[in-house]
Amino acid sequence: MLRDPGTLEPAIHSHLEQENRRTESVLRPVAGLQDELARELRARVPDEDADVPVPDGQYAYYRRFEEGGEYPILCRVRADKASEEILLDGNQEAAQAKFFRIGGSRHSPDHAILAYAADRKGSEKYEVRFLELPDRAELPDRLQETQGDLVWSLDSRQLYYTVLDDQHRPWQVRLHRLGDPPESDVAVFTSPSPQVFLAVSRTESGRFVRIDCHEHAEASETYLIDAARPDSEPFRVWARREGVRYTVSDHGEQLILLTNADEAEDFKIVGVPVHGDRTEPCQIVPHRAGVYILDVQVFAGWLVRLERVAGLPRIVVRSLRDGDEYAIDAGGEETFSLQLVSGMEYEKHVVRYVYSSLTTPSRTFDFDMRDRTAVLRKEQQIPGGHDAEQYVARRLTVHSEDGTEVPVSLVHRRDLALDGHTPLLLYGYGAYGHATPASFVHTRFSLLDRGFVYAIAHVRGGTELGYGWYLDGKLEHKENSFSDFVSAGRGLVAAGYTSRGRIIAHGGSAGGLLVGASLNRDTELFGGVVAEVPFVDVLNTMLDATLPLTPPEWAEWGDPIRDAAARARIGSYCPYSNVSKRRYPAVLATAGLTDPRVGYWEPAKWIARLREHTTSADPVLLWTNLEAGHGGAAGRFARLDEVALVYAFALMTAGP
């Protein structure tokens, strides 16, 4: 069905359509509000917008949106000219498809060809096509069933890409020579196990093609290929070791590794030779407990790292000439977000970063590492204006059931009366080591301006407080995530921000598991639940090794097929398995028909069981996007319609 949604059994399709109609019927009293929200959300998005161009030799590349356009337009300009060249118009490409999303896109080193990957079903199976530049003539080469990651060889005639297997696992890296039939493409590297996923990229210098082999967050292994010699064999940097992860950059004849080897839980940076013995690395940045290194970018003269200390990010620049280093003064608020932008020129001395907070729109800076000066290149525009002073952002700490201090970020209007009765939306994720940043999201202000507090519970399972924060929220420690989320809700009640029964829990995918399990732990804490594409049938999914992503997921949740303890543990918190006769609040679950990550049947089954067991009259609803997958609608405005649906439900549920 991921290849052809039309193969879905008619009875199932009819059931999902009936559920959609039911949801529309229940929400009819707030249909006007939903339309108002959709218009309001759209009004905060500039009709015309563009990214800051990324320089590459004689060109600078960027994407932009035109007035009324749902999809990005890929463009470039010559450094010596102001005229724009359109490389790919996403709006034109999407005209013949119900769903369209651009995945990876890469121009060849000689700037003569654009390779791009597109998903036309929402199933995250990308087709790669090629366009000759500048006239955009399409070449006959088409690569099917790919992951969407692309790397050119330096001769601009060959392309590395990753192929998905029948279970949607990225299992093989292949090399395509332009003009050759895809069936003759060379298999450069094949995954040794269903648990090992592959990805292909290039190092910052462009010298090496990088093949990353990873088992979720358990272990990794990297192979390199000389990009100037695409026929050469990949060579391994470090052999796989249980529990050891690393990423690779290069600088001259040295490889620079970000790794947790030798019990460096929050990671360190080391160097090893490109050729020769790599078993005795030299230390570049030592491990420091509590200073979690998230990302590294290497330039010809500089090493830049993004790290998180006590839950807050900072960027540190290090000279590769003399080892001198300093932190960039990003002007942080009480809680904020920083991210590095990749793709800047290796030989230059400019790094790009983005700053934002819960109240401050994103600002893109180019930072001169030599002069230590920052230039504001773009500030996110909110049509109609945005006054950050009208809102208050806070960072609180609550105590979980075992005494652990859990950070909570929140934002509300400055003039909001916090009388203990305020409705509050509590968001959480807490899995795979993904941290939820305290960044600016324009859609939230439609809730804030209607009297909500918006809070983010940074529960264990993410990496907000270091890599150990992740380890303490997975496998046998997974219950900590749910304890943290429930404790965050209770702590916000105790602090006077809201009251029991006035909290709307919100999570998506693995965050749907979080809110579903938390709902079973303290049902009366929540006045409503929004679970988007929720992973709520955990036990049955982990028991089915034929499903697309199950074997790799055992590293995160445990293997209930071979491990009785894991089966009992998962069964104890699985939201679907633990529905019982009780009074459930209003629930809205969403699904994507072609979702390869969380099957549409998981939220469908969960909603059916909740509806069967609840003793309340509160609505229990399912809404399925029948033309999209895990990420929902792809268009920038169409996606806002789905946000409006969620917010209308939250506002209706919270009441006056």
Catalytic sites, residue numbers: 509, 595, 630
Number of other residues whose CB lies within 10 A of the CB of residue 415: 8
Burial grade of 310 (CB within 10 A; 0-12, 13-18, 19 or more): exposed
* Rounded distance between C-alpha atoms, residue 204 and residue 156, angstroms: 17
* Rounded distance between C-alpha atoms, residue 241 and residue 585, angstroms: 46
Are β-strands 158-164 and 170-177 bridged in parallel, bridged antiparallel, or unpaired? antiparallel
Q: Which DSSP category does 582 fall into?
A: B
* Closest C-alpha among 244, 301, 300 to residue 268: 244
Is residue 507 within 8 Å of residue 533, measured between CB atoms? no
Burial grade of 479 (CB within 10 A; 0-12, 13-18, 19 or more): middle
* Rounded distance between C-alpha atoms, residue 567 and residue 563, angstroms: 6
Q: At what angle are helices 10-26 and 601-613 packed, to 10 degrees?
A: 60
* Closest C-alpha among 359, 360, 362, 357 to residue 377: 362
* Rounded distance between C-alpha atoms, residue 233 and residue 102, angstroms: 31
Is residue 412 within 8 Å of residue 447, measured between CB atoms? no
Is residue 344 within 8 Å of residue 54, measured between CB atoms? yes
Report the DSSP beta bridge partners of residue 437.
none
Q: What strands lie across the sheet with 268-273, from one edge to the other?
A: 246-251, 254-259, 268-273, 282-285
**CA 291 centroid distance within chain:** 22
CB contact set of 181 (below 8 Å; sequence gap of 6+): none
Report the DSSP beta bridge partners of residue 189.
173
